[in-house]
Amino acid sequence: MKTKFEWKYRYVSDGQIEFDDHGRWAIDCYIFVHIDKALPKYEWCKEMLGKKHMPVKIATMVQKGASNENVPSLVNKYCICIPSFEDAGNTGMSHQRYFYSNNIEDLKRIVEEQFEQMRTIFKYCR
């Protein structure tokens, strides 16, 4: 089963590339996790949300020039930082990896591929 990702713009309307009045811009990536099976401590959320699944934020994309930016690239406009197992033998889960692009859709695809790779790692661990 493939993970369903939901991308939501923060501070601005969906699809808007310009910053808000305070210079902020971000896009958050969420996955929906089954509360009973994975998050039993959050059972109280079922009643509040009226659903069996709870959104969990796994990544945030930022844009160069925004007041909340963290884009340490000279050539790319967008940046996203996610946990990575790229070098799992040496660093483990605490390792974060930055991805850069001038295209929002490219970064979304990269995050989804990286997350599916992490999911496979957890699936086959013992």
| Whether 27 contacts 5, CB under 8 Å | no
Q: Where are the domains of the chain?
A: 5-123
Instruction: Tally helices (H) and strands (E) across the chain.
Output: 3, 5
**Is pLDDT above 90 for 110?**
yes
pLDDT in tens, 40-79: 888 888 877 778 888 889 899 999 888 776 777 778 899 9
Q: pLDDT value at position 105?
A: 96
Specify the pTM: 0.82
Q: pLDDT value at position 87?
A: 64
Average pLDDT, the chain: 84
Average pLDDT (94-120) is 88
- Give the Å distances, CA to CA, from 111 to 11, 34, 42, 54, 106: 21, 21, 26, 20, 9
